[in-house]
Amino acid sequence: MPAARWTTKEQLEFLNGQLPSYLENCEAKSYDWFWPGLNTAWFVKWPERSVLFPNFPVEIPLTPEQNEELGKAVVARKNQLRTWFRWRTSGSHKVRVLKKQTSVFDALMEPKGTCSLTQGELYSLEYYDKRIKPHVEAEKQAGNITTVGGQLSATCKLSNELLAAESDDVKLKIKEIYELQKRKRSTTEVPGEVTDPGEIQRAIDDLPYVLKSIAVAIKQHTHFTVSFICAGPDLSKNWGITSLSCHPGETPQGNTFTTLFPKEDNILLAVYQDYAELLFHKQRLVMTCTT
């Protein structure tokens, strides 16, 4: 979820009011009507021209240079709004391992020299909650599992056994994921620091997927829930600092840390953003001068 720093109270209330409609579009996997409607409503309430040129009378036409600058600002604002919704809802969707075919983080998630996940491990990541966890819980209730190590061993054994008994379609799916993983490892180099603005924005958009994948792995191996706070220079804000939080864990009622403790979440973000302001001070100066 983006920090409230770049929004006023009224703007934040407006965005929260659009969440139900966004979630409906998420379920339908169709955004053809949502984004145009959202953008129109936003810019009617808060024209980007007034933000960019607050002291420039509306009745006076902009220069070609100003119009070009305004166009870039509008695009940046649209991207900022999209990122807000993606992060705001990131905790409410279950992770599916390797669901995305590509990500700018693939090289970091699967660096050369590390071992590939086995088909049994991939099956566990994909189907743990629905097909493996019930068996594990039954074994625990029967007293056959009494330690964390015992649970990990049982999970590994059950994953292989259940995969062997699966339908051909499921086996084929896991095999395809396994082969895709091997191909990525054989062809992907770990990249250096990314400087292209488009790639940076794409990386920010990919973060919820990556962080949730990490959270799932941590929970399966340690039974811990984790949260993430990220902050750094944002091109859409002229390299001003943006802070984001991601809380993948959910209560049995489907609530995340953000939905239960929104005030505390914003306090954490505000403090971390202040820290990032100090951390990235020199880097922001360089970025501002080179753009």
Q: How confident is the model at residue 186 (pLDDT cuts 50, 70, 90)?
A: low
Instruction: Say what the pLDDT of residue 105 is.
Output: 53
Is-contact 1 264, C-beta < 8 A? no
Average pLDDT along the chain: 76
| CA distances to 50, 86, 249, 250, 268 from 230, in Å | 29, 15, 17, 20, 11
Higher pLDDT, 201 or 109: 201
* pLDDT tens column, 2-45: 444 578 888 888 888 888 787 777 666 666 677 888 888 898 88
Angle CA(159)–CA(118)–CA(147) in degrees, nearest 5? Answer: 45
Nearest Cα neighbor of 38 from 23, 52, 8, 18 is 18
Rounded CA separation 87/3 (Å): 10
Which element (helix H / strand E) includes 228?
strand 228-234
Instruction: Say what the pLDDT of residue 29 is.
Output: 60
Instruction: Say what the pLDDT of residue 39 is.
Output: 85
Instruction: Say what the pLDDT of residue 28 is.
Output: 60
Instruction: Say what the pLDDT of residue 84 is.
Output: 80
Q: How confident is the model at residue 142 (pLDDT cuts 50, 70, 90)?
A: confident
Q: Which residues contact 130 (CB under 8 A, 6 or more apart)?
A: none
* Terminal-to-terminal C-alpha distance of the chain: 27
What pTM, to 2 d.p., does this model score?
Answer: 0.41
Handedness of CA 19, 239, 226, 160 (dihedral sign): positive
Instruction: Say what the pLDDT of residue 31 is.
Output: 63
**DSSP-based helix, strand, coil % in the chain, nearest 5:** 65, 5, 30
- Beta bridge mates, 231: 243
Residue 200 pLDDT > 80: no
Q: How confident is the model at residue 183 (pLDDT cuts 50, 70, 90)?
A: low
* pLDDT tens column, 54-68: 888 888 888 889 888
* pLDDT tens column, 76-130: 888 888 878 877 654 444 334 444 444 545 544 444 444 567 888 888 887 888 8
* Residues above pLDDT 90, as percent of the chain: 0
Handedness of CA 144, 147, 150, 152 (dihedral sign): positive
175-189, 197-211, 268-282: which has the highest mean pLDDT? Answer: 268-282
